Amino acid sequence: MSLYARCVVLWPGLAMSAVVAVAALFLAEHYGAPVMLFALLLGMAVNFLSEDERCKPGIEFVARQVLRWGVALLGLKITIDQVQALGWQSVVMVVLAVALTIGLGIWIAKWMGFSPFFGLLSGGAVGICGASAALAIAAAFPNHPQKDRATLFVVISVSTLSTIAMVLYPMLAHWQAFDAQQAGFFLGSTIHDVAQVVGAGYSMNQQTGDTATVVKLMRVGMLVPVIMVAAWMTRMAHAQQARDGTAVDAATNRPPLLPWFAVVFVLLVLLNSFTALPEVLTSTGHMLSRSFLVAAMAAIGIKTHLKDILSVGWKPVALVVLETLFLAALVCGYLLSPFHQGIS
Protein backbone atom coordinates (compact mmCIF):
# COMPACT_ATOMS: atom_id res chain seq x y z
CA MET A 1 0.00 0.00 0.00
CA SER A 2 1.38 3.42 -0.97
CA LEU A 3 1.91 6.16 1.60
CA TYR A 4 -0.97 8.18 0.16
CA ALA A 5 -3.34 5.21 0.26
CA ARG A 6 -2.33 4.43 3.84
CA CYS A 7 -2.94 8.05 4.88
CA VAL A 8 -6.39 7.91 3.31
CA VAL A 9 -7.20 4.75 5.27
CA LEU A 10 -5.88 6.10 8.58
CA TRP A 11 -7.16 9.67 8.29
CA PRO A 12 -10.70 9.31 9.78
CA GLY A 13 -9.46 7.53 12.92
CA LEU A 14 -6.52 9.90 13.30
CA ALA A 15 -8.82 12.90 13.05
CA MET A 16 -11.29 11.56 15.62
CA SER A 17 -8.51 10.73 18.09
CA ALA A 18 -7.01 14.20 17.60
CA VAL A 19 -10.36 15.92 18.22
CA VAL A 20 -10.86 14.02 21.48
CA ALA A 21 -7.26 14.75 22.54
CA VAL A 22 -7.61 18.49 21.88
CA ALA A 23 -10.85 18.59 23.86
CA ALA A 24 -9.15 16.76 26.76
CA LEU A 25 -6.19 19.15 26.75
CA PHE A 26 -8.55 22.15 26.76
CA LEU A 27 -10.61 20.83 29.67
CA ALA A 28 -7.54 19.81 31.69
CA GLU A 29 -5.98 23.24 31.24
CA HIS A 30 -9.11 25.08 32.34
CA TYR A 31 -10.27 22.80 35.16
CA GLY A 32 -6.99 21.48 36.55
CA ALA A 33 -7.91 17.78 36.32
CA PRO A 34 -5.65 15.00 34.93
CA VAL A 35 -5.57 15.26 31.14
CA MET A 36 -5.27 11.48 30.72
CA LEU A 37 -8.48 10.97 32.66
CA PHE A 38 -10.30 13.52 30.49
CA ALA A 39 -8.94 11.85 27.32
CA LEU A 40 -10.11 8.47 28.55
CA LEU A 41 -13.61 9.59 29.54
CA LEU A 42 -14.17 11.65 26.39
CA GLY A 43 -12.93 8.76 24.28
CA MET A 44 -15.32 6.36 25.97
CA ALA A 45 -18.16 8.83 25.31
CA VAL A 46 -17.63 8.37 21.56
CA ASN A 47 -17.05 4.62 21.77
CA PHE A 48 -19.45 4.10 18.86
CA LEU A 49 -16.69 5.30 16.51
CA SER A 50 -14.78 2.07 17.15
CA GLU A 51 -17.55 0.22 15.31
CA ASP A 52 -17.17 2.43 12.23
CA GLU A 53 -15.02 0.62 9.66
CA ARG A 54 -13.72 3.96 8.35
CA CYS A 55 -12.37 5.01 11.76
CA LYS A 56 -11.15 1.69 13.11
CA PRO A 57 -7.73 1.52 11.32
CA GLY A 58 -6.73 5.03 12.38
CA ILE A 59 -7.85 4.51 15.97
CA GLU A 60 -5.79 1.30 16.18
CA PHE A 61 -2.79 3.12 14.70
CA VAL A 62 -2.98 5.90 17.30
CA ALA A 63 -3.48 3.44 20.18
CA ARG A 64 -0.36 1.48 19.19
CA GLN A 65 2.14 3.40 17.03
CA VAL A 66 1.49 6.99 18.16
CA LEU A 67 1.62 5.74 21.75
CA ARG A 68 5.12 4.34 21.19
CA TRP A 69 6.41 7.64 19.80
CA GLY A 70 4.96 9.46 22.79
CA VAL A 71 6.87 7.17 25.13
CA ALA A 72 10.10 7.51 23.12
CA LEU A 73 9.99 11.31 23.27
CA LEU A 74 9.80 11.23 27.07
CA GLY A 75 13.57 10.77 26.89
CA LEU A 76 13.96 14.49 26.17
CA LYS A 77 12.79 15.26 29.72
CA ILE A 78 15.70 13.56 31.45
CA THR A 79 19.47 14.12 31.67
CA ILE A 80 22.19 12.19 33.46
CA ASP A 81 23.07 15.35 35.41
CA GLN A 82 19.59 15.37 36.96
CA VAL A 83 20.10 11.82 38.22
CA GLN A 84 23.57 12.62 39.59
CA ALA A 85 22.22 15.68 41.39
CA LEU A 86 20.05 13.46 43.57
CA GLY A 87 23.03 11.75 45.19
CA TRP A 88 23.65 8.01 45.31
CA GLN A 89 21.57 7.41 48.46
CA SER A 90 18.47 8.99 46.96
CA VAL A 91 18.95 7.23 43.62
CA VAL A 92 19.23 3.85 45.34
CA MET A 93 16.07 4.56 47.34
CA VAL A 94 14.10 5.58 44.25
CA VAL A 95 15.20 2.46 42.35
CA LEU A 96 14.44 0.25 45.35
CA ALA A 97 11.01 1.83 45.87
CA VAL A 98 10.03 1.27 42.23
CA ALA A 99 11.34 -2.31 42.22
CA LEU A 100 9.62 -3.25 45.49
CA THR A 101 6.32 -1.68 44.42
CA ILE A 102 6.35 -3.64 41.17
CA GLY A 103 7.38 -6.82 42.97
CA LEU A 104 4.54 -6.36 45.45
CA GLY A 105 2.11 -5.75 42.59
CA ILE A 106 3.12 -8.96 40.80
CA TRP A 107 2.92 -10.99 44.02
CA ILE A 108 -0.51 -9.66 45.05
CA ALA A 109 -1.84 -9.99 41.49
CA LYS A 110 -0.86 -13.68 41.40
CA TRP A 111 -2.33 -14.18 44.89
CA MET A 112 -5.61 -12.61 43.73
CA GLY A 113 -5.68 -14.86 40.68
CA PHE A 114 -4.64 -12.27 38.09
CA SER A 115 -1.92 -12.50 35.49
CA PRO A 116 1.58 -11.33 36.53
CA PHE A 117 1.31 -8.94 33.58
CA PHE A 118 -1.45 -7.06 35.41
CA GLY A 119 0.69 -6.84 38.53
CA LEU A 120 3.58 -5.42 36.52
CA LEU A 121 1.23 -2.97 34.78
CA SER A 122 -0.34 -1.66 37.98
CA GLY A 123 2.90 -1.71 39.98
CA GLY A 124 4.77 0.08 37.21
CA ALA A 125 2.06 2.73 36.91
CA VAL A 126 2.09 3.37 40.68
CA GLY A 127 5.87 3.18 41.02
CA ILE A 128 6.96 5.16 37.95
CA CYS A 129 4.74 7.81 36.39
CA GLY A 130 1.08 6.92 36.48
CA ALA A 131 -0.89 6.86 33.26
CA SER A 132 2.15 7.42 31.02
CA ALA A 133 3.92 4.42 32.56
CA ALA A 134 0.80 2.27 32.19
CA LEU A 135 0.65 3.10 28.48
CA ALA A 136 4.39 2.54 28.00
CA ILE A 137 4.44 -0.82 29.79
CA ALA A 138 1.28 -2.02 28.05
CA ALA A 139 2.90 -1.22 24.70
CA ALA A 140 5.50 -3.91 25.41
CA PHE A 141 2.90 -6.54 26.35
CA PRO A 142 1.54 -9.15 23.94
CA ASN A 143 -1.85 -8.58 22.34
CA HIS A 144 -4.65 -9.93 24.49
CA PRO A 145 -8.44 -9.42 24.53
CA GLN A 146 -8.22 -7.99 28.09
CA LYS A 147 -5.14 -5.81 27.53
CA ASP A 148 -6.94 -2.55 26.72
CA ARG A 149 -9.44 -3.01 29.53
CA ALA A 150 -6.67 -3.63 32.06
CA THR A 151 -4.74 -0.60 30.82
CA LEU A 152 -7.78 1.64 31.04
CA PHE A 153 -8.62 0.47 34.52
CA VAL A 154 -5.09 1.19 35.73
CA VAL A 155 -5.14 4.63 34.09
CA ILE A 156 -8.43 5.52 35.77
CA SER A 157 -7.20 4.26 39.13
CA VAL A 158 -3.80 5.97 39.16
CA SER A 159 -5.20 9.23 37.77
CA THR A 160 -7.80 9.35 40.55
CA LEU A 161 -5.32 8.37 43.27
CA SER A 162 -2.74 10.83 41.94
CA THR A 163 -5.21 13.68 42.24
CA ILE A 164 -6.08 12.64 45.81
CA ALA A 165 -2.38 12.36 46.66
CA MET A 166 -1.69 15.83 45.26
CA VAL A 167 -4.02 17.21 47.94
CA LEU A 168 -3.23 14.91 50.87
CA TYR A 169 0.51 14.28 50.58
CA PRO A 170 1.63 17.91 51.12
CA MET A 171 -0.43 17.90 54.32
CA LEU A 172 1.23 14.63 55.34
CA ALA A 173 4.68 16.09 54.63
CA HIS A 174 3.83 19.12 56.76
CA TRP A 175 2.48 16.90 59.56
CA GLN A 176 5.71 14.89 59.55
CA ALA A 177 7.71 18.16 59.75
CA PHE A 178 9.75 17.35 56.63
CA ASP A 179 12.08 20.10 55.50
CA ALA A 180 11.85 21.41 51.92
CA GLN A 181 14.16 18.79 50.40
CA GLN A 182 12.63 15.91 52.34
CA ALA A 183 9.13 17.01 51.36
CA GLY A 184 10.23 17.28 47.73
CA PHE A 185 11.74 13.79 47.84
CA PHE A 186 8.58 12.38 49.42
CA LEU A 187 6.24 14.00 46.89
CA GLY A 188 8.44 13.14 43.91
CA SER A 189 8.83 9.52 45.03
CA THR A 190 5.18 8.77 45.77
CA ILE A 191 2.71 10.77 43.65
CA HIS A 192 1.82 8.94 40.46
CA ASP A 193 1.65 11.51 37.63
CA VAL A 194 4.22 14.19 36.76
CA ALA A 195 1.65 17.01 36.62
CA GLN A 196 0.38 16.23 40.12
CA VAL A 197 3.95 16.05 41.47
CA VAL A 198 4.65 19.52 40.07
CA GLY A 199 1.38 20.86 41.44
CA ALA A 200 1.92 19.43 44.92
CA GLY A 201 5.60 20.41 45.12
CA TYR A 202 5.31 24.03 44.06
CA SER A 203 2.20 24.48 46.20
CA MET A 204 4.55 24.15 49.18
CA ASN A 205 7.57 26.18 48.03
CA GLN A 206 10.09 26.57 45.19
CA GLN A 207 12.75 24.26 46.66
CA THR A 208 10.25 21.50 47.36
CA GLY A 209 8.90 21.78 43.83
CA ASP A 210 12.36 21.65 42.26
CA THR A 211 13.39 18.59 44.30
CA ALA A 212 10.09 16.80 43.65
CA THR A 213 10.39 17.36 39.90
CA VAL A 214 13.94 15.98 39.70
CA VAL A 215 13.03 12.92 41.79
CA LYS A 216 9.98 12.33 39.63
CA LEU A 217 12.07 12.46 36.45
CA MET A 218 14.38 9.88 38.01
CA ARG A 219 11.35 7.62 38.39
CA VAL A 220 10.46 8.25 34.74
CA GLY A 221 13.97 7.06 33.86
CA MET A 222 13.04 3.68 35.37
CA LEU A 223 10.71 3.12 32.41
CA VAL A 224 13.45 1.51 30.32
CA PRO A 225 14.40 -1.33 32.69
CA VAL A 226 10.73 -1.96 33.48
CA ILE A 227 9.86 -2.06 29.77
CA MET A 228 12.70 -4.56 29.35
CA VAL A 229 11.13 -6.70 32.08
CA ALA A 230 7.76 -6.44 30.32
CA ALA A 231 9.37 -7.43 27.01
CA TRP A 232 11.16 -10.35 28.68
CA MET A 233 7.88 -11.57 30.21
CA THR A 234 6.28 -11.27 26.78
CA ARG A 235 9.06 -13.36 25.22
CA MET A 236 8.65 -15.99 27.93
CA ALA A 237 4.90 -16.12 27.35
CA HIS A 238 5.47 -16.39 23.60
CA ALA A 239 8.01 -19.18 24.10
CA GLN A 240 5.48 -21.05 26.25
CA GLN A 241 2.86 -20.64 23.52
CA ALA A 242 5.35 -22.01 21.00
CA ARG A 243 5.98 -25.06 23.19
CA ASP A 244 2.23 -25.55 23.57
CA GLY A 245 1.71 -25.16 19.83
CA THR A 246 -0.56 -22.11 20.21
CA ALA A 247 1.82 -19.48 18.81
CA VAL A 248 1.16 -18.41 15.23
CA ASP A 249 4.79 -18.25 14.17
CA ALA A 250 7.53 -18.59 16.75
CA ALA A 251 10.21 -17.37 14.39
CA THR A 252 8.59 -14.17 13.17
CA ASN A 253 6.40 -13.14 16.10
CA ARG A 254 8.99 -13.34 18.85
CA PRO A 255 9.12 -9.84 20.37
CA PRO A 256 12.46 -8.02 20.86
CA LEU A 257 13.93 -7.87 24.35
CA LEU A 258 14.19 -4.07 24.10
CA PRO A 259 11.41 -2.50 21.97
CA TRP A 260 12.45 0.18 19.50
CA PHE A 261 10.70 2.96 21.41
CA ALA A 262 12.74 2.13 24.53
CA VAL A 263 15.93 2.32 22.43
CA VAL A 264 14.89 5.76 21.13
CA PHE A 265 14.09 6.80 24.73
CA VAL A 266 17.65 5.92 25.86
CA LEU A 267 19.24 7.61 22.84
CA LEU A 268 17.31 10.82 23.51
CA VAL A 269 18.36 10.79 27.18
CA LEU A 270 22.01 10.45 26.12
CA LEU A 271 21.62 13.13 23.45
CA ASN A 272 19.98 15.50 25.92
CA SER A 273 22.73 14.78 28.47
CA PHE A 274 25.81 15.29 26.31
CA THR A 275 24.56 17.82 23.76
CA ALA A 276 23.28 21.34 24.33
CA LEU A 277 19.99 20.94 22.51
CA PRO A 278 18.13 24.11 21.55
CA GLU A 279 15.31 25.02 23.92
CA VAL A 280 12.85 25.07 21.03
CA LEU A 281 13.75 21.45 20.20
CA THR A 282 13.31 20.11 23.73
CA SER A 283 10.11 22.07 24.34
CA THR A 284 8.70 20.83 21.03
CA GLY A 285 9.63 17.28 21.99
CA HIS A 286 7.88 17.66 25.35
CA MET A 287 4.77 19.02 23.66
CA LEU A 288 4.70 16.23 21.05
CA SER A 289 5.23 13.54 23.69
CA ARG A 290 2.35 14.84 25.78
CA SER A 291 0.11 15.26 22.74
CA PHE A 292 0.89 11.77 21.42
CA LEU A 293 0.21 10.15 24.79
CA VAL A 294 -3.06 12.03 25.23
CA ALA A 295 -4.15 11.06 21.70
CA ALA A 296 -3.25 7.43 22.39
CA MET A 297 -5.25 7.50 25.62
CA ALA A 298 -8.19 8.96 23.70
CA ALA A 299 -7.93 6.20 21.08
CA ILE A 300 -7.83 3.49 23.76
CA GLY A 301 -10.88 5.10 25.37
CA ILE A 302 -12.73 5.04 22.05
CA LYS A 303 -12.00 1.31 21.77
CA THR A 304 -13.36 0.53 25.23
CA HIS A 305 -16.90 -0.14 26.40
CA LEU A 306 -17.95 1.23 29.78
CA LYS A 307 -19.38 -2.13 30.80
CA ASP A 308 -15.93 -3.66 30.44
CA ILE A 309 -14.55 -1.22 33.02
CA LEU A 310 -17.45 -1.71 35.42
CA SER A 311 -17.02 -5.49 35.33
CA VAL A 312 -13.53 -5.60 36.83
CA GLY A 313 -14.71 -6.03 40.44
CA TRP A 314 -13.11 -4.87 43.70
CA LYS A 315 -9.86 -6.84 43.60
CA PRO A 316 -8.05 -4.68 40.99
CA VAL A 317 -9.07 -1.57 42.94
CA ALA A 318 -7.65 -3.04 46.13
CA LEU A 319 -4.44 -3.96 44.31
CA VAL A 320 -3.74 -0.41 43.08
CA VAL A 321 -4.67 1.13 46.44
CA LEU A 322 -2.39 -1.29 48.31
CA GLU A 323 0.51 -0.50 45.97
CA THR A 324 -0.04 3.22 46.50
CA LEU A 325 -0.15 2.91 50.30
CA PHE A 326 2.91 0.65 50.29
CA LEU A 327 4.96 3.13 48.26
CA ALA A 328 3.98 6.07 50.50
CA ALA A 329 4.74 4.09 53.67
CA LEU A 330 8.09 2.89 52.32
CA VAL A 331 9.34 6.37 51.36
CA CYS A 332 7.97 7.96 54.52
CA GLY A 333 9.64 5.28 56.62
CA TYR A 334 12.95 5.89 54.84
CA LEU A 335 12.83 9.63 55.50
CA LEU A 336 12.01 9.09 59.18
CA SER A 337 14.53 6.29 59.72
CA PRO A 338 17.92 6.81 61.44
CA PHE A 339 19.59 5.49 58.27
CA HIS A 340 18.50 8.57 56.37
CA GLN A 341 21.29 11.14 56.40
CA GLY A 342 19.51 13.79 54.35
CA ILE A 343 18.88 14.35 50.69
CA SER A 344 22.01 15.45 48.86
Give the per-residue pLDDT at 1. 64
Q: 311 lies in which domain range?
A: 3-336
CA atoms within 13 A on the CB side of 108: 22
For the segment 262-272, the average pLDDT, to the nearest whole number, is: 86
Q: Are 29 and 311 in contact (CB under 8 A)?
A: no
Tell whether 112 is covered by a domain. yes
| Between 34 and 201, the higher pLDDT residue | 201
- Tens digits of per-residue pLDDT, 197-226? 877 888 888 788 888 888 887 888 888 888
Residue 251 above 60 pLDDT? no
Residue 343 above 50 pLDDT? no
Tell whether 344 is covered by a domain. no
Shortest CA distance to 240 belongs to which of 142, 130, 95? 142
- Tens digits of per-residue pLDDT, 40-49? 889 888 888 8
Tell whether 235 is covered by a domain. yes
For the segment 24-39, the average pLDDT, to the nearest whole number, is: 84
Confidence of residue 189 (pLDDT cuts 50, 70, 90): very high
State what percent of residues in the chain have pLDDT above 90: 25
- Domain count across the chain: 1
Tell whether 341 is covered by a domain. no
Residues 6+ apart with CB under 8 A from 91: 83, 218
Give the per-residue pLDDT at 49. 87
Confidence of residue 145 (pLDDT cuts 50, 70, 90): low
Tell whether 40 is covered by a domain. yes
Q: Are 62 and 296 in contact (CB under 8 A)?
A: yes
Give the per-residue pLDDT at 129. 81
CA distance linking residue 186 with residue 216, whole number of Å: 10
Mean pLDDT, the chain, integer: 83
| Between 314 and 190, the higher pLDDT residue | 190
Shortest CA distance to 213 belongs to which of 133, 96, 129? 129
Tell whether 343 is covered by a domain. no
Instruction: Tell me how many degrees the CA angle 79-166-181 measures, rounded to the nearest 5.
Output: 50
